[in-house]
Amino acid sequence: MPAIVTQGIVLRHADYRDHDRMLTLLSPQYGRVEALCRGCKRPQSPLLACSEYFSFGEYVLYTGKGRMTVTSCNLTESFYPLRQDYDRLQYAAYLLSLAEAAAQPGERAVELFTLLIRTLMRLCYGERDVKAVSAAFLLHFAAISGYRPRLSHCVKCGKRMGDEEIRLMDIEEGGLICQGCYAPLTPVKPLTAQNVHWMRSVLEQGIDKTDQPDIAAPGLLLADYVESRMEKSIRHKGLF
């Protein structure tokens, strides 16, 4: 098979032999890709910069003997400032883990890729609260994964929910639940009308344009919701 050229971002790397790394890339066309990066740990290697966490660029990959090998890369962005700010780095690393858990080999991931790059740009260079930026990622992540939360009506009976009735989100059904439909074993998390206004606004307008305050972003709720739907546990303790 000839070489393929794809945009990619490094989600993970693992040491391999003395000077090599195995990269886990997210590619918009090919989803999650494992690719060997030969010699990238040598100080003078032209592949050094594109084999770090968060490295984003155009990768040329060659397939042979059943595996992908990085032959060259044109680096677009290293997100270097993330490494100098431990707080931002923790959130960014959490988002990489989510992307890695969601992406499948050989499956297009255009929306996830775009969401990840835009969110990392905001975390790296933006002024907004990192928790709110990360919560917005989780919300859009849920939407593109097929479980956009329902935020106007009760998920069980379909009743329209006024602000004064908003108390609980049904994590399994993925939306608001009214008092009448709530039963003791229903898997719910508490939330406020402000949380719901924030989520509606961010889904419609995006985090850059919303007029809702960052403090209303329900980060922990969204992290619990997304991980519950993915049936994966990713460390987010203390982040939200």
CB atoms within 10 A of CB 174: 18
Nearest residue (CB) to Zn ion, 179 versus 233: 179
Residue whose tokens read 């931002």: 88
CB of 198: closest distance to Zn ion in angstroms?
Answer: 22
The binder of Zn ion chosen from 99, 115, 154, 161 (CB under 5 A): 154
CB atoms within 10 A of CB 152: 11
In the chain, beta strands by DSSP E? 4-16, 20-27, 31-37, 56-64, 67-77, 168-170, 175-177, 188-190
157 lies in the binding site for Zn ion (CB under 5 A): yes
Within residues 163-182, the interface with Zn ion by CB under 5 A covers 178, 181
Report the side by side order of strands in the sheet with 188-190.
175-177, 168-170, 188-190
Nearest residue (CB) to Zn ion, 22 versus 181: 181
Nearest residue (CB) to Zn ion, 4 versus 181: 181
CB of 117: closest distance to Zn ion in angstroms?
Answer: 39
Q: ∠3-93-51 over CA atoms, to 5°?
A: 30
Alpha-carbon distances, residue 79 vs 95, 118, 120, 122, 126 (angstroms): 14, 11, 8, 10, 12
- Kindly determine how many residues on this chain lie close enough to bind Zn ion according to the rule CB under 5 A: 5
Site string for Zn ion, 91-110 (x = CB under 5 A): --------------------
The residue range among 10-18, 34-42, 68-76, 146-154 that interacts with Zn ion, by the rule CB under 5 A, is 146-154
CB of 179: closest distance to Zn ion in angstroms?
Answer: 8
Binding residues for Zn ion, rule: CB under 5 A, are 154, 156-157, 178, 181
